[in-house]
């Protein structure tokens, strides 16, 4: 809605044109705990671009007719998620793992919830959440720090102080392995497997990230080698982690032939069991090198630098340099890897969502 016009620029097309006319880009992204508005532009257009972003969040028009139009766009976005089996499997996994919580719902909402949003509720939300206490402005590139501070400070003063955001704690409720299947007339079964993970600032976060990378990050990972290269069961398979303010998730995804999804789940579970004891220092060194190289390459891009700094301050309320981050990463030992594997990859915490010709699974760890 904020791109639909502001008091200074009521024409939506002029908002994007302000950035795009100079070859830049402008967009926003919504996550479970944050919303980010960003642009990439020429260095000489930095102040103009910052001013535009601040106008978006301080003086949006929120016209009723625009709300109705955007409502339909979001409903179509929700429908598109349901049309893609892989996206639907991810949503189902969240519902399995975090029932009755914000993490158990799609970020876009439901058709019912989006249909109920009113002009008044949008205004109230912005007044409560879009305050200076919840705002971080991050700029990276060819700039003068003092000049940016002098420019931004009076612009940001138009925001109310408000109250800092707080979140209700989300706790994982231990249960037996849980399964959710949704039958579709498709050629592949799309499998999403999840375990509860660590929060963003947890002391074991780095060890868990490295463990999951060993399991399913890239073509040399265990799952890729076993499921795709040795067995030929899947084209697409991988694993990753996500971290929130108070909890996190370990995700494994695969798309396989509809007749082989049970075998694939069984083989994935075997690799999960194996990594708890069968790990090697050479493998750990390899994923440390992967993380190090990837971070260094990312930091060559100014948008990545701005994102890094912003996330550090907004999500962790501290600034950790990439040098300190890599130092923490390097300190992870093989014993740390085995400990987090035994603590987090528990059979009773395994959740599986399958979209495709799936009917039921019972003893998932005993599938033949």
Q: Which of 201, 246, 251, 255 is nearest to 227 (CA)?
A: 255
- Taken in order of first residue, the domains within the chain and their CATH numbers are 2-61+102-156 (3.30.830.10), 178-366 (3.30.830.10)
Q: Which pLDDT band holds residue 368 (cuts at 50, 70, 90)? A: very low
With residue 335 as reference, give the H or E element that holds it: helix 334-344
Per-residue pLDDT tens digits for 90-145: 999 999 999 989 999 999 999 999 999 999 999 999 988 998 888 999 999 999 99
* Beta carbons of 256 and 280 less than 8 angstroms apart: no
pLDDT (tens digit, 9 = 90+) per residue, 274-326? 999 999 999 999 999 999 999 999 999 999 999 999 998 887 667 889 999 99
* pTM score: 0.93
How far apart, in whole angstroms, are the C-alpha atoms of residue 315 and residue 85? 31
Q: What is the mean pLDDT of residues 69-93?
A: 94
**The pLDDT of residue 363 is above 70:** no
**By the 8 A CB rule, do 264 and 254 touch?**
yes
More confident residue, 235 or 171: 235
pLDDT at 358 over 90: no
């Amino acid at each position: 809605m904020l791109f639909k016009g502001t008091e200074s620029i009521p024409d939506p097309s002029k908002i994007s044109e302000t950035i795009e006319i100079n070859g830049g880009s402008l967009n926003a992204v919504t996550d479970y705990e944050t919303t980010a508005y960003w642009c990439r532009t020429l260095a000489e257009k930095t102040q103009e671009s910052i001013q535009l972003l601040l106008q978006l969040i301080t003086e949006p028009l929120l016209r009723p007719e625009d709300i109705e139009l955007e409502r339909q766009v979001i409903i179509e976005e929700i429908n598109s998620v349901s049309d893609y089996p892989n996206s639907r499997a991810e949503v189902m996994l969240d519902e399995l793992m975090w029932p009755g919580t914000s993490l158990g719902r799609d970020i876009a909402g439901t058709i019912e919830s989006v249909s109920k949003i009113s002009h008044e509720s949008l205004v109230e939300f912005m007044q409560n959440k879009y305050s200076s206490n919840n705002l971080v402005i991050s700029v990276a590139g060819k700039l003068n720090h003092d000049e940016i501070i002098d420019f931004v400070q009076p612009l940001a003063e138009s925001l109310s102080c408000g109250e800092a955001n707080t979140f209700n704690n989300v706790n994982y409720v231990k249960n037996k392995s849980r399964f959710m299947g949704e039958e579709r007339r498709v050629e592949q079964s799309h499998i999403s497997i999840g375990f509860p993970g660590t929060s963003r600032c947890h002391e074991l976060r780095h060890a868990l990230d490295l463990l999951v990378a060993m399991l399913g990050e890239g073509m040399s990972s265990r799952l890729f080698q076993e499921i795709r290269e040795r067995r030929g069961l899947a084209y697409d398979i991988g694993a990753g982690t996500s971290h929130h303010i108070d909890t996190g998730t370990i995700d494994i995804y695969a798309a396989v032939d509809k007749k082989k999804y049970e075998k694939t789940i069984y083989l994935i579970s075997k690799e999960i069991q194996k990594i708890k004891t069968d790990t090697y220092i050479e493998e750990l060194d390899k994923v440390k090198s992967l993380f190090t190289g990837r971070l260094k390459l990312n930091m060559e891009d100014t948008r990545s630098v701005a994102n890094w700094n912003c996330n550090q301050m907004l999500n962790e309320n501290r600034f950790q340099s990439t040098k300190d981050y890599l130092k923490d990463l390097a300190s992870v030992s093989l014993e740390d890897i085995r400990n987090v594997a035994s603590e987090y990859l528990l059979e009773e915490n395994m959740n599986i969502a399958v979209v495709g010709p799936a009917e039921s699974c019972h003893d998932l760890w005993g599938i033949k």
